[in-house]
């Protein structure tokens, strides 16, 4: 790619309807100048999507643009933060104007929705990879961390689990609804903001419920009891699991427990706040579901509604299961 092409690429990323007052200087200079309001902490995170590792070659460019931002906004949501700014590092194998405008469309549709302004980035030549960094705010001392859960706290998740994982298993046979859950995950920003007052700990489910819930337990040497019959499923998940697939379906409970990429929030709430949380999140599209309780003994113990034990089959996560 020539220098002219880099200029054109930058052009793709300078026209955005969202113009924030706290951006003193955005794309175009050597660096951006940003104003953090008094009384707020800056919340920063970054995630990279690499072609062939985090998405397949046939993923639409708009989906890559959306998801690169969405997975970062999901991390801000998990802190209870309000998003504000983003930077974008693009490594591109070739100059492809149609791909770039599709990518930008996916990226900016989500950025505009949450009033996130792209304030800078970098463009390089090489195997396709997209790194996004997002910046958000939280009132001093109010961020929700992975640590903070207490024995007796209820465990909740937003939305539904296993959809993105089933889309990956079914590949071309996955229906539109499951495919969208994989390609266009919706960061649970509103839920994260609503939970600032109530949750004791929170994480987003990017690597699978057992793995990510495990991170909530690590700090305090805590454990959890999970009711696998309470795990929330989408209607698309239930329908697809009932239909004969091209190959065998994974066992019913496995994807919601172990598959990644759903980008729901998993959080804990002390019993006195549960009614308020259910009312607040019940008013959001994603809703929330109680799936278990924090216990003092380390390990995650899964059980069925009839009280019998359920042993997750996924070997990779067996070390999270209690003895």
Is the CB of 92 or the CB of 217 nearer to Mg ion? 92
Distance of alpha carbon 234 from alpha carbon 165, whole angstroms: 12
Q: How far does CA 82 lie from the centroid of its chain? A: 15
Is the CB of 80 or the CB of 120 nearer to ligand ADP? 120
Residue 115: name the closest of 29, 189, 18, 203 by CA.
18
Rounded to the nearest whole angstrom, what is the least distance from the CB of residue 311 to ligand ADP in the complex?
47
Is the CB of 100 or the CB of 216 nearer to ligand ADP? 100
Asked if 7 interacts with Mg ion (CB under 5 A), we say no
Cα-trace Rg, the chain: 21
Rounded to the nearest whole angstrom, what is the least distance from the CB of residue 215 to ligand ADP in the complex?
31
Helix axes 97-113, 3-12, angle to 10 degrees: 30
Asked if 218 interacts with Mg ion (CB under 5 A), we say no
Judged by beta carbon distances under 5 to 8 A according to partner kind, the member of ligand ADP, Mg ion, none in contact with residue 13 is: ligand ADP
Distance of alpha carbon 139 from alpha carbon 160, whole angstroms: 29
Rounded to the nearest whole angstrom, what is the least distance from the CB of residue 64 to Mg ion in the complex?
21
Judged by beta carbon distances under 5 to 8 A according to partner kind, the member of Mg ion, ligand ADP, none in contact with residue 306 is: none
The piece of 114-122, 131-139, 175-183, 289-297 that touches Mg ion (CB under 5 A) is: 114-122
The piece of 122-130, 223-231, 233-241, 266-274 that touches Mg ion (CB under 5 A) is: 122-130
The piece of 120-128, 202-210, 211-219, 247-255 that touches Mg ion (CB under 5 A) is: 120-128
Is the CB of 50 or the CB of 313 nearer to ligand ADP? 50
Residue carrying structure tokens 């052009």: 11
Is the CB of 78 or the CB of 84 nearer to ligand ADP? 84
Rounded to the nearest whole angstrom, what is the least distance from the CB of residue 124 to ligand ADP in the complex?
9
For every residue of 169-203, DSSP letters joined together read HHGGGS-HHHHHHHHS----HHHHHHHTTTEEEEE
Judged by beta carbon distances under 5 to 8 A according to partner kind, the member of Mg ion, ligand ADP, none in contact with residue 196 is: none
Judged by beta carbon distances under 5 to 8 A according to partner kind, the member of ligand ADP, Mg ion, none in contact with residue 195 is: none
Rounded to the nearest whole angstrom, what is the least distance from the CB of residue 4 to ligand ADP in the complex?
12
Q: Which of 7, 112, 122, 309 binds Mg ion (CB under 5 A)?
A: 122
Residue 158: name the closest of 55, 296, 284, 20 by CA.
284
**Residue with nearest beta carbon to Mg ion:** 122
Rounded to the nearest whole angstrom, what is the least distance from the CB of residue 187 to ligand ADP in the complex?
20
Site residues for Mg ion, 151-180, by CB under 5 A, read none
Q: Which residues bind ligand ADP (CB under 6 A)?
A: 10, 13, 27-30, 88, 90, 118, 120-123
Report the SS3 class of residue 93.
coil
Per-residue CA distances from 35 to 25, 102, 119, 135, 158 (Å):
10, 31, 12, 11, 32
Asked if 112 interacts with Mg ion (CB under 5 A), we say no
Per-residue CA distances from 306 to 295, 302, 303, 312 (Å):
19, 12, 8, 17
Rounded to the nearest whole angstrom, what is the least distance from the CB of residue 89 to ligand ADP in the complex?
7
Distance of alpha carbon 168 from alpha carbon 240, whole angstroms: 13
Q: Is 249 left (phi over 0), alpha (psi -120 to 50) or beta?
A: beta
Q: Strands 117-125 and 23-25, how do they pair?
A: unpaired
Q: DSSP secondary-structure letter at 115?
A: T
The residue ranges that bind Mg ion (CB under 5 A) are 122
């Amino acid at each position: 790619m020539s220098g002219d092409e880099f200029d054109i690429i930058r052009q793709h990323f300078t026209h955005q309807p969202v113009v924030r007052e706290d951006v003193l200087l955005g794309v175009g200079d050597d660096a951006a100048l940003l104003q953090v309001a008094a009384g707020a902490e800056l919340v920063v995170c970054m995630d990279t999507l690499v072609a062939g590792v985090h998405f397949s070659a046939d993923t639409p460019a708009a989906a890559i643009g959306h998801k690169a931002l969405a997975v970062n906004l999901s991390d801000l949501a998990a802190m209870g933060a309000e998003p504000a700014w983003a930077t974008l590092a693009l490594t591109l194998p070739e100059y492809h104007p149609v791909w770039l405008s599709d990518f930008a469309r996916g990226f900016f549709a989500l950025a505009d929705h949450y009033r996130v302004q792209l304030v800078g980035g970098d463009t390089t030549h090489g195997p396709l990879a997209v790194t996004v960094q997002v910046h958000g705010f939280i009132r001093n001392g109010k961020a929700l961390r992975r640590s903070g859960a207490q024995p007796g706290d209820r465990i909740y998740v937003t939305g539904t689990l296993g959809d993105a994982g089933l889309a990956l298993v079914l590949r071309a046979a996955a229906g539109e609804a499951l495919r969208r859950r994989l390609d266009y995950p919706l960061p649970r920003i509103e839920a994260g903001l609503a939970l600032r007052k109530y949750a004791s700990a929170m994480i987003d489910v990017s690597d699978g419920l057992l793995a990510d819930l495990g991170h909530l337990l690590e700090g305090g040497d805590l454990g959890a009891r999970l009711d696998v019959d309470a795990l929330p499923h989408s209607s698309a998940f239930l329908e697809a699991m009932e239909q004969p697939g091209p190959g065998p379906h994974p066992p019913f409970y496995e994807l919601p427990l172990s598959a990644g990429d759903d980008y729901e929030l998993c959080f804990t709430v002390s019993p006195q706040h549960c009614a308020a949380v259910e009312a607040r999140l019940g008013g959001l599209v994603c809703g929330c579901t109680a799936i278990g309780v924090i216990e003092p003994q380390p390990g995650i113990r899964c059980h069925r509604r009839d009280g019998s034990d359920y042993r997750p089959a996924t070997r990779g996560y067996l070390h999270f299961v209690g003895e």
